[in-house]
Structure 1
């Protein structure tokens, strides 16, 4: 997947400048850099990095292939376990997974092998003739996959590889899920998500239907009748509320919606951007992505506010440092209490109540403070929304679809994976693994019944 830096004709100088601000935050390794970095690997037999990798990629093996200048072989090793290895190399928090487990951290330099960048080097520069994998003999089984995000694409690819016929039903106009609509623009650049989808579909045996929403255009009961099995990878469609008066104000926005608009904009200079100040409420990667992108878009002052301490934030220390590098102000131990409007009805400020913990419980203090702002972006987490008009729904636990081993749901023949389930930490690489495991379970079950 070779990146092209050419810009279409008719670009304004402002748009060119903004596009430069959204260049890749982690530039790729050069061939020489990759060669040097691959030589640092000890190629451990019982490698802790593999144990720490949710998708169980044979990391020492692919790094050894890079060291031997066999990038195509390295990429095939990666794709054999994680068909979305290209995007995961860009968005996966390697600093808390494989790289944190690297034995090089115990050396004097305390610097792990740059596994994520090496994975990207291999997947970006591999030269396959056609698709790297050949499909097995046809099983005559058909499976419906609902959702074309990382979990759905991973499941569909593995099922097709095993000889099954797969139909993907995606609610959005484009496939890709979070990679297409929800990741910071500087992490996945140059239409990478669509290039990856094209690569995945290249195995054959997969039919993609877009603009097909569960509960609106299709129903689970229909899919159960028409297919041998169903895999739900529908993500999280709704966002949590702040439960405050005036929350419906047009200057109070959902971060995920704004990031989607930013990623899909043909001219980002036309976006409605708060110029003076903005507040982002949240503590996860979406909050960090939102805050950093606002700074890149030109918002003068961006404040990220979280109700607990930085050590409790779901965003990693690496992500928090990215926010600090963007000069985002981070205020902890404060929760939003009031949305304040001016006399003309426009947004004036937010009042926050300072918080603390007592016996593990979050408490309000007597102190409060106010932050003036022209926009507020909510990034306080997403939740599963029941598809409208859908009567047949698997058991839901803690607001997400419950699974009971091997991605099985409470409905016979229906499996689920990705963010719509309560498994894992909502990481892309975990969604990929859940899709893969579901495919193996579905294939095994259908073959047993054959």
Structure 2
């Protein structure tokens, strides 16, 4: 029953453009000079160029424009917050409606994926070896660029399947696994060696990498969701949102949520993913609890709207205090307290508990979605400078305190380096690749 729900309810929600609709939309574009949509894209895709090529029927050329700038262009066409980036900057926004840039990007990249046409070639070998830790958007992006410049690239991936966040952390009905698999395969075809099931720090040491490779890129993302630090958290039925979403991308889902009540703690994009997954696994009710209000939630507006359409309830100004279990050690309820935001002279919107406001919510599952832990152990093993588990990097080159080690993607998010988005990670991967190439050329290690 659960597996049939996966087959039925986890198919991609949004259908792509037909040829006719893509042509109609592409012909709406004004093909702006110095286009604001291009400036709003972290990877600087030449949006007018790729859309004009769609309008003229040159889908191969369109896809090449997209993927030249963004190696993960097929994934980003589905998961980018386009309303806030390229489409949000579209000049058509003022008087009409913005061009559906994301949907057009998907149309072109899906075409080249389905045709299985290679667009890029590996560069002439230059004799230098690069190790990349992590095969998510940042790692794959760096690998693609380095392979094109002639480097021998080896990617170390702790999971059994490559793709990182795109593969394991984004729900299938928004980003199908076949799209991620295709993007991974494009990097592999350029000559990158991808070693899965290889955890750096366990299966291979950092010292071994430093000894055997000319440069190293740390692109490991973040780790598991931190604990709530409340009583009863170890009961059966309290789940990590990241791990929960990952199970929905496997052949068998261990949690039977059919007809059950589910509570998700947190209001970011991962919380939305966990909640909508629970709905699609047959949960009778799913509530998202957040200690602040909808104004402060970190989920994108389109994610919030999607969750509401799916039937997810939101309960604001609510904080968990205790998970209550039955005699068998399974979750049966969650004790909560109401919160209030209070303006303070020295602290804006301080969060305080409302006295005597405790109440209980009956539930069968509690899913933690309150952010993610840092990869502290790996950072410490490399012995590089860090702040609260975030590697300190040069803001331009993304080089760490060890001149051989660079870092990019979510592993450095939080110290002012980009946003926690796939497209930002992709650009940082490119930046790392170019910085390494420039450094080795300057030192005359390569021609």
TM-score, scaled to structure 2: 0.93
Whether the 8 Å contact between 1:246 and 1:339 is mirrored in structure 2 is yes
| 1:286-325 pair list within 5 angstroms | 286-325=270-309
Whether the 8 Å contact between 2:5 and 2:280 is mirrored in structure 1 is no
Whether the 8 Å contact between 1:216 and 1:387 is mirrored in structure 2 is no
1:363 partnered with 2:352: yes
Among 309, 320, 333, which residue is 1:349 paired with?
333
1:429 partnered with 2:417: no
CA distance in 1: counterparts of 2:337 and 2:127, whole angstroms: 60
- Once the 2 structures are TM-superposed, how far is the Cα of residue 16 of structure 1 from its aligned partner? 4.2
Which stretch shows the higher mean deviation, 167-176 or 122-131?
A: 122-131
- Once the 2 structures are TM-superposed, how far is the Cα of residue 135 of structure 1 from its aligned partner? 2.8
Residue equivalent to 1:39: 27
Residue equivalent to 1:6: none
Among 429, 436, 444, which residue is 2:438 paired with?
444
Residue equivalent to 2:183: 196
CA distance in 2: counterparts of 1:143 and 1:202, whole angstroms: 17
1:399 partnered with 2:386: no
1:411 partnered with 2:402: yes
Distance 1:113 1:307, change over 3 A: same
Whether the 8 Å contact between 1:239 and 1:383 is mirrored in structure 2 is yes
* 1:273-315 CA distance string (max 9 Å, x none): 2532000011111100110111111101000011111111111
SS in 2 for 1:95: coil
- Once the 2 structures are TM-superposed, how far is the Cα of residue 342 of structure 1 from its aligned partner? 2.7
Among 124, 134, 138, which residue is 2:110 paired with?
124
- Once the 2 structures are TM-superposed, how far is the Cα of residue 41 of structure 1 from its aligned partner? 1.1
CA distance in 2: counterparts of 1:391 and 1:144, whole angstroms: 16
CA distance in 2: counterparts of 1:398 and 1:32, whole angstroms: 51
Among 10, 15, 19, which residue is 2:7 paired with?
19
CA distance in 2: counterparts of 1:133 and 1:442, whole angstroms: 20
Residue equivalent to 1:92: 80
- Once the 2 structures are TM-superposed, how far is the Cα of residue 173 of structure 1 from its aligned partner? 0.8
Q: Which residues of structure 1 form unaligned runs of 5+?
A: 1-11
SS in 2 for 1:191: helix
* 1:340-384 CA distance string (max 9 Å, x none): 223443322112211122222211112232211000000111021
SS in 2 for 1:94: coil
Residue equivalent to 1:340: 324
- Once the 2 structures are TM-superposed, how far is the Cα of residue 134 of structure 1 from its aligned partner? 2.5
Q: Which residues of structure 2 form unaligned runs of 5+?
A: none
CA distance in 1: counterparts of 2:206 and 2:70, whole angstroms: 28
- Once the 2 structures are TM-superposed, how far is the Cα of residue 267 of structure 1 from its aligned partner? 4.3
- Once the 2 structures are TM-superposed, how far is the Cα of residue 62 of structure 1 from its aligned partner? 0.4
Distance 1:32 1:307, change over 3 A: same
1:223 partnered with 2:209: yes
Among 365, 380, 386, which residue is 1:375 paired with?
365
CA distance in 2: counterparts of 1:124 and 1:449, whole angstroms: 41
Among 69, 72, 79, which residue is 2:57 paired with?
69
Whether the 8 Å contact between 1:141 and 1:446 is mirrored in structure 2 is no
SS in 2 for 1:280: strand
Residue equivalent to 2:44: 56
Residue equivalent to 2:137: 150
Among 387, 394, 404, which residue is 2:377 paired with?
387
Segments ≥4 residues shifted beyond 6 Å: none
- Once the 2 structures are TM-superposed, how far is the Cα of residue 393 of structure 1 from its aligned partner? 3.0
- Once the 2 structures are TM-superposed, how far is the Cα of residue 18 of structure 1 from its aligned partner? 4.0
1:83 partnered with 2:83: no
Residue equivalent to 2:219: 233
Which stretch shows the higher mean deviation, 150-159 or 95-104?
A: 95-104
CA distance in 2: counterparts of 1:129 and 1:188, whole angstroms: 19
Distance 1:211 1:425, change over 3 A: same
CA distance in 2: counterparts of 1:319 and 1:208, whole angstroms: 32
- Once the 2 structures are TM-superposed, how far is the Cα of residue 425 of structure 1 from its aligned partner? 2.2
Whether the 8 Å contact between 2:235 and 2:325 is mirrored in structure 1 is no
| 1:257-296 pair list within 5 angstroms | 257-264=243-250, 266-268=251-253, 271-273=255-257, 275-296=259-280
Residue equivalent to 2:174: 187
CA distance in 2: counterparts of 1:428 and 1:255, whole angstroms: 18
- Once the 2 structures are TM-superposed, how far is the Cα of residue 129 of structure 1 from its aligned partner? 7.3
SS in 2 for 1:419: helix
Q: Give the aligned length.
A: 433
